[in-house]
Each structure stands twice: as structure tokens, then as C-alpha cells.
Copies of this chain bind each other. A is one copy, B any other.
Amino acid sequence: MSDGHFPTIALIGIGLIGSSLARVVRREGLADRIVVSTRSADTLKRAEELGLGDAYTTDAAEAVQDADLVIVSVPVGASGDVARTIAPALKAGAIVSDVGSTKASVIAQMAPELPDTVHFIPGHPLAGTEKSGPDSGFAELFENRWCIFTPLPETDPAALEKLSAFWRACGANIDTMDPEHHDKVLAIVSHLPHIIAYNIVGTADDLQTVTKSEVIKYSASGFRDFTRLAASDPTMWRDVCLYNREAILEMLARFSEDLFFLQRAIRWGDGEKLFDLFSRTRDVRRSIIEAGQEVNAPDFGRQVAAHPEKGSKPA
């Protein structure tokens, strides 16, 4: 059984996820050498200032040439380009994985580009915050979060186990599913919530009868809860919408249908329908708390507002 250690790990992309990986790999001693690569010279410089790796290059092909594990952490729309760039330089036997929030599209983009001599295992750690960039990462990001693999029919079980051991050492729990199912699950648990949050913040921002300063001033009464998701990385989310289109459109259709049902109940004063829905949804939250995916502190433990120093860094 593997301990999750690789001699050389190349991180392509060093944003929230890439830089969190860099930090946990260092802390847990999961690599002898970390090579950091990103297209932007400024971001690369910042990664170097933060000491996230042992070597730095804007050339992804150079980054992967000695790597035993390559993790691509870029907006999903850039996956194909990265695969094309690194393909000729990859070492035989290397494991190539990613962290993208859509899987069918990433496979369609990357698999045809990569040589048969490497193990391509698509992955997706369900972890993140609304922050982006190399400064925003932290070693604890993956703790008690799920990392989902969507292996290909030809995936070598031994390679999958090595990669699983790596992610377990990063703190994550492992699941596998087929890519299409992953994309549907993520459409409802992640993509739709982000789209709805972006949309409601946009709607509020456009009102004339209620001023923007009123929206901000009184935001603690509910609106605020949506603004965290709506502050997420725009490039990443643009790509998610473009590359998981079918599943997202299906979830949006269902959501709108349900919303019209609710709207009709409001228009016709059907209190019973409203009460039924509003009672049913309470149970879902209870289950989430029981599953350890949320804390039961009221108002998301926002008491840290009174002591911002307690809230500045995730523990």
C-alpha cells in the first residue's frame, strides 16, 4: 500500500487549489521536490515569494519532465491546452490528474492529447473558498472534504490507489463515480448554487427602487449568505458554465419550474403549500450537520466578527 509520497510533483496552476496542495504536500512531506508552474509571470513570482515550491517555471512542459505526479489546477476551459503542452514532456509511468469541477469535458479535452505511457486519472477535490490566487491557499483546505475520481475504463488500479493515498494524506476522503454522474451531482450541489447566487446578487445590484447602499447595509438579513459564493473566481465559473452546460441547463429548468410553483402559491395565498416546503427543507440541513459537512453554530459562527483575528485564518 502506497503512503502517498512521490519523488517529484509538478503543480500546473498555483491558485487556491494548487497553492493549497503545495502547502499540504510540504507539511506532510509528500514529495521530495515540488515544481510550480503557471502561465502568469506575476503569479509565478508570488508563488516563489511564498516559497510554495522548489522550482518555478512558466513553461508547463519543463515543469512536468521529471514529475512522477502532475496535478493540473486550471480553469476547466484551459485543460486541453495544458494537456497538449505537457504531453511530449511527460515521463513514462507518470500519473496525470486534475482538480476540475466538470469531468466529462476535462476527459474529452485531455485524454486524446496524453500519451498511453502515462496514467491519466481525472479528479475533483470538493473543497474551496471564495478566494483565489496563490495567497489564498492553506494546507487544511482538503481536510474532511471529498475527492472524487472518475477513472477511465483503462485506468490502472495501482495508479488509482497511489493517487488515492496521496489525497488521503492531504486530508481528503476518496470517492469514485463515472464522469457523467459526477457532472450531474456537481450541477446540483455546486454549479446551480453558484449560478443562483451570482444571479440574485446581480438582480439586487440592478434595482432602482432599492439602492445599492441599502442592499449592503441590510444584507445581514439573508442576502449576505449568497454573496460568498458570488465572490468566487469569475474565470473558473465561466468555464464551469460553458463546460457542464447540459447538466446545468437541466438543473436550472427544474429549479425554475419549482420556483414558479412556489411563486404561484405566494400569489394565490396558499399558506399550506408554503409551510410544507419550508418545513421539509429543515431536515436537509440537519442531515448535512450530522454528516459533518457543516457546523451547527447559528449564523455560521459569524461571532468571529467581534474578534476578527480569530477568523482570519482557517485552523
Binding site for B on A (CB under 8 A): 101, 126-131, 136, 140, 143-146, 148, 181, 184-186, 188-207, 209-210, 212, 214-232, 234-235, 237-239, 241-242, 245, 248-249, 251-252, 254-256, 258-260, 262-263, 265-267, 269, 271, 274-275, 277-282, 284-288, 291-308, 310-315
Chain B residues in 8 Å Cβ range of A304: 295, 297, 301, 304
Closest A-B pairs by Cβ, 9 of them:
A129-B298, A297-B311, A234-B278, A193-B222, A190-B221, A227-B285, A230-B281, A301-B311, A231-B285
Chain B residues in 8 Å Cβ range of A255: 199-200, 203
| A225 to B291 alpha-carbon distance, docked (Å) | 15
Smallest CB–CB gap between A175 and chain B, Å?
Answer: 8
- 23 pairs from A and B in contact (CB 8 Å cutoff): A126-B220, A127-B220, A129-B298, A131-B298, A146-B220, A188-B203, A188-B223, A189-B215, A192-B203, A200-B255, A205-B284, A216-B287, A216-B291, A219-B288, A220-B293, A225-B225, A231-B285, A231-B286, A238-B278, A252-B263, A296-B308, A297-B304, A303-B311
Knowing A201-B284, A220-B293, say if A300 contacts B298 (CB, 8 Å).
Answer: no
Docked-complex contact B263 and A249, CB < 8 angstroms: yes
Docked-complex contact B271 and A242, CB < 8 angstroms: yes
Chain B residues in 8 Å Cβ range of A311: 295-297, 301, 303
Chain B residues in 8 Å Cβ range of A237: 274, 278
Docked-complex contact A209 and B222, CB < 8 angstroms: no
Tell me the nearest residue of chain B to A276, going by C-beta: B234
Chain B residues in 8 Å Cβ range of A144: 305
| A224 to B290 alpha-carbon distance, docked (Å) | 13
Number of copies: 2
Docked-complex contact B130 and A275, CB < 8 angstroms: no
Chain B residues in 8 Å Cβ range of A146: 217-218, 220
Docked-complex contact A271 and B216, CB < 8 angstroms: no
Docked-complex contact A189 and B204, CB < 8 angstroms: yes
Smallest CB–CB gap between A260 and chain B, Å?
Answer: 8
Task: Give the one of A205, A220, A232 with max B CB within 10 A.
Answer: A220
Tell me the nearest residue of chain B to A292, going by C-beta: B305
| A242 to B274 alpha-carbon distance, docked (Å) | 9
Task: Give the one of A181, A228, A248, A302 with max B CB within 10 A.
Answer: A302
Smallest CB–CB gap between A293 and chain B, Å?
Answer: 5
Query: A204 is contacted by which of B148, B188, B204 (Cβ under 8 Å)?
Result: B188
Docked-complex contact A231 and B199, CB < 8 angstroms: no
Query: A189 is contacted by which of B222, B228, B242, B297 (Cβ under 8 Å)?
Result: B222
Tell me the nearest residue of chain B to A259, going by C-beta: B199
Smallest CB–CB gap between A93 and chain B, Å?
Answer: 32
Smallest CB–CB gap between A82 and chain B, Å?
Answer: 18
Chain B residues in 8 Å Cβ range of A239: 271
Instruction: Name 14 extra pairs, CB < 8 A, besides A185-B215, A252-B263, A303-B315.
Output: A188-B223, A189-B218, A189-B221, A193-B200, A193-B225, A202-B262, A203-B255, A222-B229, A225-B228, A234-B282, A249-B263, A252-B259, A296-B311, A300-B300
